[in-house]
Amino acid sequence: MKRTCWRIAPAAAGACFALLSLSVTAQQSQPTGSGTLTLTSHLEPPSGAAPAAGSTSAAANTNTSAAAAAGAQPDAASQITNAELMKNMMEMKAEIAELKAALKARGDADAASADAIKAYENDVAALKAAVTPAAATAATSTTSSQEATPAAPAAPAAPAVDHVTPFADYYWGWLNGNPRTIDCPLCTKYFTPEIRVDANYNLDFNHPKDDTISGSSEVFRSQEVQLEQLGIGGDLLIDHVHARLMTQFGEYSVTTPRNDASVTRGQWNLDDAYRYLAEAYGGYHWDKMHGINLDAGIFMSYIGLFSYYNFDNWAYQPSFVSSNTPWFFNGVRGQFFLTQHLKIEPWFINGWQSYARFGGKPGLGGQIKYTPTGKVNIISNNYGMGEDDYGIEGRTRFHTDNSVEYKYYEKPDSTLDRMAFSITADAGCEEGYGVACMGSAGHKIFIPASGSTPATPYYKQSFLGWMTYNRWWFGKDRYAITAGGGYVNNPGRYLVLLPPINGATAVTGSAYFPEDPGMPYHGEDGTFTYDFMPRQFITYRIEYGYRHSDVPYWAGRGGSTPPGGATNSPVGNPGDFTCTNGSASFDSGTGYTPMPGLGYTKEYAANIAAASAVCANPAPGSPLAVASYGAGPLTLWRPDMRHDEQKIIFAILVKW
């Protein structure tokens, strides 16, 4: 069109350029993505007179500009649509083309033609005057344009950042031990419900014939589909008073209480009273600093970083420093949120993962949690003073647990969208009544030598362990891979989970795996985990794990149950050695006897030899002889215990 303008008479060229200007103005005034352009005309006729056709007064143009600048409200009668405008423009173009042809044919531009062109120029100017205020108004988002033409919906404003609620200014779903859920479809003003389902299938490469897996507080049965936990509960907050409840129906209701020996101190069956409760506490909240809470009841400990609930974790089977440390406490806690990123939480509790007290002293401890940025989480848990060994007064436990989690990569739009790692280091010991944090350093003697026995030194009773994990997220967090593992050294075995041999518990102990002062235990493990997370409320998990110990510990092919025995009806006292004729089993009446000065390997062999002799030659009239009368020759039954364990875990984890 520009080239055409230069080839016509000056008057016609003026009209052509007016049309070109009008076309450009119309294009600029059209909102992006809109199929219709609404233009506003503020051409007002003089009072009492109608405007001449095809003309616009200067006063009208001035009023138009002033109205546009002031954001005046146009009336409906003064609006023309984009379709009408384009129709008029096309008609003018056609008429100008005809005029050009006529001028060329005549070879001159007479006055009549000039007047005709001038009339068209006036019409174009009028239309341009109608378009220009609308374009300017749209560009400046004035009230006039917004009311005349509904604007496209504005992008929703980013939610305001919460700078008050603790840890609310960043997304923490990437943390190991934290749930990733964001939405709460069932929440109400006062109640935040929570439902958890954890079901698994474990393939143990040792294939224990009784399907019993040992040495774990998360995995218990092999080659069976099992419900680990059905948790139903939630959080209630009304007028600063709050409470939380979470159940543990399923395997957790029997496997967690069996590790607590404190329930035998005094009367009432506390393990039965609490076995279906994972969390149950209530308290009060103060709006001071960034919040203060005071709670009493059963609450999570988070020693060892991992959550008690597998949905929240990067792996299903955590390393020793998490699996062998407390999942819960029973007592009182305070929570002081000094800043939005710093929490101090003191504890006054009955003991180390215990429903009751083990001895005469309660446990004291606390947690410090600090998140300097959205990429870093630092947690330190510390415990002391408690007497936590069953039946032993005056022995105190100390423990420190420290973790750092760091998110070192995040690109939400990339295939690999996030990477993070965690490091946890634990140290602890027990002091008093025959044990010491440094053992017999300085030749400290617990029991002096006698004529028939050597002196008993103070044995080293300590715990040292670490674990580290790295996690990779893919496809906008729909997939994840985690690799990690750890190590533990726990002389005295006071934090080693007792294998359930012949139904043994923390109360009964087991002659086959004694946990006396000085008993050695070193362990290493590693896992590789794949997660598929199609929705925020569900995880499909596959995990390969390998674990090793320097002493026979993991369940082997022969299993942990003697012939004729069962979990609900162990053979005699699970703390004793067991005799068998191959089809039935009997309590030998003989437990494990410490033999100072021999060392663990020789001491264990001596106990096995003594128990074998008892089974082969029961003393006349002894309970063993009476019980096994007519059963034929007896031998010592021995559980199949291995140095290594490999398994694959399949799990479906749900949380609302």
- List, for residues 444-489, the tens digit of each pLDDT value: 777 776 777 767 778 889 999 999 999 999 999 999 999 999 999 9
Per-residue pLDDT band for 63 (boundaries 50, 70, 90) equals very low
pLDDT at 265: 87
Does residue 593 belong to any structural domain of this protein?
Answer: yes
CB 499 within 8 A of CB 510: yes
Please give the DSSP secondary-structure letter assigned to residue 212: B
| Residue that wins the pLDDT comparison between 201 and 74 | 201
209/297 same-domain check: yes
Written as one string, the DSSP assignment of 588-605 is -S------TTS-HHHHHH
pLDDT digits (tens, 9 = 90+) for 1-42: 444 443 334 444 444 434 344 343 434 433 333 333 333 333
582/531 same-domain check: no
124/234 same-domain check: no
517/604 same-domain check: no
The share of the chain scoring above pLDDT 70, in percent, equals 74
Kindly give the residue spans of alpha helices, DSSP state H, lying in 141-185.
143-148
DSSP H or E stretch at residue 81? strand 79-81
pLDDT at 171: 92
Average pLDDT over residues 562-581: 88
31/68 same-domain check: yes
pLDDT at 118: 56
Assign 3-class secondary structure to 16-74: HHHHHHHHHHHHHCCCCCCCCCEEECCCCCCCCCCCCCCCCCHHHHHHHHHHHHHCCCC
Does residue 181 belong to any structural domain of this protein?
Answer: no
CA-to-CA distance for 345 and 561, rounded, in angstroms?
Answer: 43
Across 376-390, 391-405, 456-470, 561-575, least confident range:
561-575
Specify the number of domains making up the chain: 3
416/506 same-domain check: yes
The token pair that represents 540 in the structure block: 């499909």
Of 120, 148, 176, which marks where a domain is finished? 148
pLDDT at 102: 61
pLDDT at 96: 65
Which range has the top average pLDDT, 53-57, 204-208, 356-360, 503-507? 204-208
Strand residue runs (E) in 208-276:
225-238, 241-247
pLDDT digits (tens, 9 = 90+) for 627-651: 888 888 999 999 999 999 999 999 9
pLDDT at 85: 59
The residue among 249, 427, 228, 377 whose CA lies nearest residue 316 is: 228
Average pLDDT over residues 78-96: 60
323/219 same-domain check: yes
CB 206 within 8 A of CB 639: no
pLDDT digits (tens, 9 = 90+) for 350-386: 999 999 998 888 999 999 999 999 999 999 999 998 8
CB 241 within 8 A of CB 284: yes
CB 320 within 8 A of CB 332: no
Does residue 179 belong to any structural domain of this protein?
Answer: no
CB 541 within 8 A of CB 650: yes
Check pLDDT > 90 for residue 532.
yes
550/608 same-domain check: no
CA-to-CA distance for 11 and 422, rounded, in angstroms?
Answer: 80
271/392 same-domain check: yes
pLDDT at 599: 84
Domain that holds residue 351: 191-560+642-655
Please give the DSSP secondary-structure letter assigned to residue 514: -
pLDDT at 151: 53
121/244 same-domain check: no
Per-residue pLDDT band for 101 (boundaries 50, 70, 90) equals low
pLDDT at 9: 40
Check pLDDT > 50 for residue 403.
yes
Per-residue pLDDT band for 607 (boundaries 50, 70, 90) equals very high
**Per the confidence metrics, is the pTM higher than 0.75?**
no
Across 54-58, 100-104, 253-257, least confident range:
54-58
Check pLDDT > 50 for residue 134.
no
Per-residue pLDDT band for 392 (boundaries 50, 70, 90) equals confident
pLDDT at 89: 63
100/214 same-domain check: no
The torsion of the CA quartet 624, 629, 632, 637, rounded to 10 degrees, works out to: -20
Q: What is the mean pLDDT of the chain?
A: 81
Does residue 168 belong to any structural domain of this protein?
Answer: no
pLDDT digits (tens, 9 = 90+) for 253-310: 999 999 998 988 888 989 899 999 999 999 999 999 999 999 999 999 889 999 999 9
Across 92-96, 562-566, 602-606, 622-626, least confident range:
92-96
72/206 same-domain check: no
| Residue that wins the pLDDT comparison between 25 and 574 | 574
Could you tell me which residues come within 8 angstroms of residue 140 by beta carbon, excluding any fewer than 6 positions away? none
Does residue 114 belong to any structural domain of this protein?
Answer: yes
pLDDT at 100: 62
Check pLDDT > 90 for residue 421.
yes
Does residue 429 belong to any structural domain of this protein?
Answer: yes
| Residue that wins the pLDDT comparison between 103 and 410 | 410
Average pLDDT over residues 192-214: 95
pLDDT at 363: 92
Give me the amino acid identity at 1. M
Query: Which CATH number does the domain housing residue 463 bear?
Result: 2.40.160.10
Does residue 568 belong to any structural domain of this protein?
Answer: no
What is the layout of strands, in order, in the sheet containing 585-587? 585-587, 578-580, 635-637
